[in-house]
């Protein structure tokens, strides 16, 4: 792996923003001073790691305070530096960012499990305060995973598993697919090296086998679209190894996975996306079951694109992903794409978008406000946020994200507390269902309410799995009991 120098970092930051170079240099000197006697497991000077973290952040056009926090992210945790000193030498924002990514290793705890849960909670909940903290931590983990070869086998597998359970879902939720995909594949390589090798070989063989065919396809599609006045940029992409593995373990065979081969079609505007779709369907027969319009209905992490799988040349299944250049940037970088668009106001826009448009953000705040125990909190976020999720629809077509195993009651409380408390019936896919009906992907759900009904009931607690639903049912019953006791006394 290429070693990134401070000069390369400075040059990269200067390429996208004017800034106080002396401030960045002071941060580098400060970090170098405190890490000067430390070595990485590879034997290299420790300062290489924070410089690489800062450089990856700069590759995302991160604001200068975030880049500096990347340089300083380990000094408080691993050296005698202090947050007070960082604030004095730099500013409050940098102190806050460094504090956010600093593990609580300096605090006494005889329980390693509790300490681990506390640290993870601190990182996850930092989204509520400043999403840049999560981004720095993801980049920190990314560079550590890239250099995991120097750790023991036990440590490799421990870090790989933790990455899949915690950091990959976080990257997904903020839409940072570039980071997510790399974290997944590195983790997979360390956890299941033999299987990783087998699938990678199949993938490599497919690439060699189809390269010429796909290049011919690009020429044909570009020619057709250009002829009809649709300007596009086309890119060939193959599904990554871990994503293929996830399909295989759900009883798919390699050769039947419909989206291993993908052609990305990038346009300037939404109108051209739909025009490109129309013309592609003129020459290649689509498979209707695999058409998705994520422009009209974006994913819950704000991903937008048209997906269509067609019978391509030689009856090869090819997926076309059609989106604008702006959508492509969001698809790759997620929230971090705001640095490209909003420059110095990016953090404000990130926070605003998180609060208004990201469903998991509200669920995270709910869990954080109701669960005090750190180990229980970690268990619940793994079960409710970081496990396999399902996506169901309201009657108006809104997509609702729920943990796998959620019922119509969980759905009702996700919509609103009053909807859950006043629910008297549920209709799924035009059929009446019981309150404990377990929802499946793409179900259409209608909740019927009656404000005069005597609900919730205690047995409802056996029909929900989400923390919010359980808390609201318990809260309602407690308040109702208090009212009854008060009436009895009167």
**Which CA distances in Å does 48 have to 45, 61, 127, 328?**
6, 20, 27, 31
**Lowest-confidence pick of 31-40, 327-336, 341-350:** 341-350
Ordered structural domains, the chain, with CATH: 6-192 (1.10.3210.10), 194-334 (3.30.460.10), 388-489 (3.10.20.30)
**Strand residues in 348-408 grouped as ranges (E):** 389-393, 399-403
Cα separation of 202 and 241, whole Å? 9
Instruction: Give 57-85 pLDDT, tens digit per residue.
Output: 999 999 999 999 999 999 998 999 999 99
Active-site residue, from 10, 74, 77, 458: 77
Instruction: Give 87-108 pLDDT, tens digit per residue.
Output: 999 999 999 999 999 876 544 4
14 has which bridge partners? none
Mean per-residue pLDDT, 339-367: 83
User: Residue 302 region, left (φ>0) first, then alpha (ψ -120 to 50), else beta?
Assistant: left
Instruction: Give 434-446 pLDDT, tens digit per residue.
Output: 999 999 988 999 9
387 has which bridge partners? none
| Mean pLDDT rounded to a whole number for the chain | 90
Instruction: Give 213-229 pLDDT, tens digit per residue.
Output: 999 999 999 999 999 99
Burial (CB count <10 Å: 0-12, 13-18, 19+), residue 157: middle
User: Residue 201 region, left (φ>0) first, then alpha (ψ -120 to 50), else beta?
Assistant: alpha
Distance of CA 114 to the CA centre of its chain: 25
77 labelled catalytic: yes
pTM exceeds 0.75, yes or no: yes
Distance of CA 192 to the CA centre of its chain: 23
Instruction: Give 155-195 pLDDT, tens digit per residue.
Output: 999 999 999 989 999 999 888 999 999 999 999 999 999 99
**Which CA distances in Å does 355 have to 29, 69, 158, 224, 231?**
37, 24, 33, 42, 35
205 labelled catalytic: no
Confidence (pLDDT) at 389? 81
pLDDT of 375 over the 70 cut: yes
Active-site residue, from 78, 85, 87, 198: 78
Confidence (pLDDT) at 423? 92
Confidence (pLDDT) at 26? 95
**Which CA distances in Å does 204 have to 32, 84, 241, 441?**
41, 52, 10, 32
Cα separation of 7 and 10, whole Å? 5
Longest dimension (CA), the chain: 85
């Amino acid at each position: 792996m290429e070693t990134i120098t401070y000069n390369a970092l400075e040059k990269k930051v200067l390429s996208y923003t004017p800034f106080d170079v002396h401030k960045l240099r002071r941060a580098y000197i400060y970090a170098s001073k405190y890490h000067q006697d430390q070595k990485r497991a590879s034997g290299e000077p420790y300062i290489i790691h924070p410089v690489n973290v800062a450089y990856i952040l700069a590759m995302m056009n991160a604001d200068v305070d975030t880049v500096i926090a990347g340089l300083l992210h380990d000094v408080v945790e691993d050296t005698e530096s202090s947050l007070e000193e960082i604030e004095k030498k730099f500013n409050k924002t940098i102190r806050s960012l460094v504090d956010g990514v600093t593990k609580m290793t300096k605090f006494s705890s005889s329980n390693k499990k509790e300490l681990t849960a506390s640290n993870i909670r601190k990182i996850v909940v930092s989204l509520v305060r400043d999403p840049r903290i999560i981004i720095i931590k993801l980049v920190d983990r990314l560079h550590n995973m890239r250099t995991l070869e120097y750790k023991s086998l036990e440590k490799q597998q421990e870090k790989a598993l933790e990455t899949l359970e915690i950091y990959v879902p976080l990257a997904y939720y903020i839409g940072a697919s570039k980071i997510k995909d790399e974290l997944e594949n590195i983790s997979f390589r360390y956890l299941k090296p033999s299987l990783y090798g087998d699938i990678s070989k199949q993938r490599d063989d497919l690439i060699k086998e189809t390269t010429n065919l796909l290049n011919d396809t690009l020429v044909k599609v570009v020619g057709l679209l250009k002829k009809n006045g649709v300007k596009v940029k086309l890119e060939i992409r193959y599904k990554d190894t871990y994503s293929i593995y996830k399909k295989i373990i759900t009883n798919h065979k390699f050769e039947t996975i419909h989206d291993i081969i993908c052609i990305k079609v990038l346009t300037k505007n939404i109108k051209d996306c739909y025009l490109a779709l129309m013309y592609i369907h003129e020459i290649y027969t689509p498979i209707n079951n695999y058409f998705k319009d994520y422009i009209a209905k974006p994913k819950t992490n704000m991903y937008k694109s048209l997906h269509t799988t067609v019978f391509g040349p030689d009856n090869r299944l090819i997926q076309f992903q059609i989106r604008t250049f702006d959508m492509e940037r969001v698809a790759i970088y997620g929230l971090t794409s705001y640095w490209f668009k909003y420059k110095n106001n990016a953090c404000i826009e990130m926070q605003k978008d998180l609060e208004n448009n990201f469903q998991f953000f509200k669920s995270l705040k709910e869990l954080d406000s109701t669960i005090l125990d750190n180990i229980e909190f970690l268990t619940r976020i793994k079960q409710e946020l970081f496990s396999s999720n399902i996506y169901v629809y309201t009657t108006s077509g809104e997509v609702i994200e729920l943990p796998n195993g959620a019922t119509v009651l969980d759905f009702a409380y996700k919509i609103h507390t009053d909807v859950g408390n006043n629910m008297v019936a549920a209709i799924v896919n035009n059929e009446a269902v019981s309150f404990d009906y377990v929802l499946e992907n793409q179900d259409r759900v209608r909740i019927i309410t009656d404000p005069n009904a005597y609900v919730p009931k205690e047995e409802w607690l056996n029909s929900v799995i989400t923390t919010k639903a359980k808390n609201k049912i318990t809260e309602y019953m407690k308040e109702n009991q208090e009212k009854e006791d008060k009436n009895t006394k009167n």
